[in-house]
Amino acid sequence: MSDPIIPTRVFPSAELPPRPPIADEAPPWRTPPAPPAPPAVPPPGDITITHRHVHEIRMPEPEPAPTRWDRAWALAQRLGRPWQLAAALALAFAPILPNRYSIAVTWAYCVQTTRAHQGQGFGYTLGIGALIAASWLVYRRATVPRLTALAVTALGALSAASLYDPILWITGVAR
């Protein structure tokens, strides 16, 4: 730090301008700006300029229709949670101790007996009417007891039907 400074080069002094620049005046050491470009010459002859707009209207792609699987899954979601469905089916088809018949089998027997003794119309009315009532209850709110009632009445409605009914309806001839 105590070393002396030894110049190795000496630059000649620059000449100073005679006066300082006035306000808004460029200093003399700056290069002047380029002159403005000459105005454009119009093209010869009669030229028309045409400007066209093309508008394309694109309709959004329609959403695909739900598949059968999607509709079945939506119905299963509407009916309740999987554990509710499993519990309802277990309650409907589990055997009850005294006679070892389930609730669904007992209801199916009642509907079949009504059909046999009262007639075909009474059997269908009892089986399908109870199924409609249970379906409406489940549609309102799906709980385990209501889902159990739906499973029981579905088996009862199936037991009201006979394979010979369509033949009887079409031909009018009983077996």
Q: Give the confidence band of 124 by pLDDT, cuts at 50, 70, 90.
A: very high
Q: Max Cα separation, the chain? A: 134
Averaged pLDDT, 50-60: 85
Question: Among residues of the chain, what percentage have pLDDT more than 70?
Answer: 98
Contact 91, 149 (CB under 8 A): no
Q: Distance between CA atoms of 70 and 147, rounded to whole angstroms?
A: 21
Averaged pLDDT, 76-92: 85
Fill in the DSSP letter of residue 99.
Answer: T
Q: Could you tell me which of 155, 150, 159 has the C-alpha nearest to residue 116?
A: 159
Q: Give the confidence band of 2 by pLDDT, cuts at 50, 70, 90.
A: confident
Averaged pLDDT, 121-146: 92
CA 15 vs CA 18, 19, 154: distances in Å: 9, 12, 112
**Predicted pLDDT of residue 80:** 73
**Predicted pLDDT of residue 175:** 61
> What does the pLDDT look like over 27-51, one tens digit per residue?
777 777 788 888 888 777 777 778 8
Q: Distance between CA atoms of 114 and 127, rounded to whole angstroms?
A: 10
Report pTM: 0.55
pLDDT greater than 90 at residue 163? no
Fill in the DSSP letter of residue 23.
Answer: T
The 8 Å CB, 24+ separation contacts for 15-24 are none
Q: What is the mean pLDDT of the chain?
A: 86
**Predicted pLDDT of residue 1:** 64
CA 40 vs CA 35, 45, 47, 149: distances in Å: 15, 15, 16, 91
Six-digit token pair at 78? Answer: 């509407």
> What does the pLDDT look like over 64-75, one tens digit per residue?
999 999 998 887
**Predicted pLDDT of residue 76:** 77
Q: Could you tell me which of 131, 135, 157, 144 has the C-alpha nearest to residue 94?
A: 144
Q: Give the confidence band of 147 by pLDDT, cuts at 50, 70, 90.
A: very high
pLDDT greater than 70 at residue 110? yes
Q: Give the confidence band of 111 by pLDDT, cuts at 50, 70, 90.
A: very high
